[in-house]
Structure 1
Amino acid sequence: MKGSFLGEFEEVVLLAVCVLKGELAYANEIRKEVEKHTARTINLSAIHSALYRMERKGFLDSQLAEASPRRGGKRKRYFEVSKKGFDALCEVKRIRESFWKLVPVSQVKGGTL
């Protein structure tokens, strides 16, 4: 069923929204959280694209906050993970864990499990 799986980047963004929850879960803070955990530089437009794509899929809900003078009258859009989004994260975790249980430790060179 198309649209029900998460890509790697979507998964990380969705996890960042879970971690931030509430009034901190807006695009720029989500970007910072993703960068902190992945040690990668992320373009803000990539975050926006992922957020809106996941909102269309039903994985996220959003709402606009009041405009503030500090932002020049612009409103922030806050995101939260929907039940469908949380269920998708749980399924990804289950799939990853089922694979990791099958990886023989002797096969891993230089890494640790």
Structure 2
Amino acid sequence: MKGTYLGEFQEVVLLSILILQDESYGVRIQEEIQNELNRTISRGALHTALTRLEEKGFIKSEMGGATEERGGRRKRIFTVTNLGKESLKEARAVREQLWTKVPDWAVNVSYAVW
């Protein structure tokens, strides 16, 4: 396993896979991220993240059945492993712990009007 560090983009990809469940293949993951976060990502960036997540053991993939709509091609379906779920829980806990220590004044935004 390559390590357990989970970057922000990898966290977003893992969460998208959990949301999409049986529909978690490359194009749908890309669409989910774009629709939910209004964030455009390239297929290359997504595939790099998916490869790294699989190398770390956070996700696994298998080939789905061929469909007529895809010209007989199969989709690679991704699922989050228990290790991936634990990593997500840990990342969330760390963020929540840090946010509890941030004073309110530090995140209140005020704009000066000239």
TM-score over 0.5 (shorter chain): yes
Residues 1:88 and 2:87 aligned together: yes
1:104 matches 2:103: yes
Q: Which aligned pairs between 1:18-29 and structure 2 lie closer than 5 A?
A: 18-22=18-22, 24-29=23-28
Q: In the alignment, what sits opposite 2:11?
A: 11
**What is the letter of the counterpart of residue 38 of structure 2?**
A
* Cα distance in 1, alignment partners of residues 100 and 2 from structure 2: 27
2:76, 2:104 → 1: CA distance? 44
Instruction: Please tell me the residue identity of whatever aligns with 2:88.
Output: L
Partner of 1:37: 36
Give the whole-Å Cα distance in 2 for the aligned partners of 1:59 and 1:91. Answer: 13
Deviating above 3 A after TM superposition, structure 1's stretches of 4 or more consecutive aligned residues are none
Q: Matched residue of 1:6: which SS?
A: coil
Q: Distance in 1 between matches of 2:24 and 2:107?
A: 36
**Equivalent in the alignment of 1:69:** 68
5+ residue gaps in structure 2?
A: none
Q: Which structure 1 residue ranges, 5 or more long, are not aligned? A: none
CA-atom RMSD, angstroms? 1.6
Read off the aligned partner of 1:10 and give its amino acid letter.
Answer: Q
Secondary structure at the counterpart of residue 80 of structure 1: strand
Q: Give yes or no for contact 2:62–2:77 (8 Å, CA) kept in 1.
A: yes
Shift of 1:2: 5.8
How many residue pairs end up in the alignment? 110
Report the secondary structure of 2:53's partner residue.
helix
Other-structure match for 2:55: 56
TM-score (norm 1): 0.90
TM-score (norm 2): 0.89
- Equivalent-residue separation in structure 2 for 1:2 and 1:13 (angstroms): 18
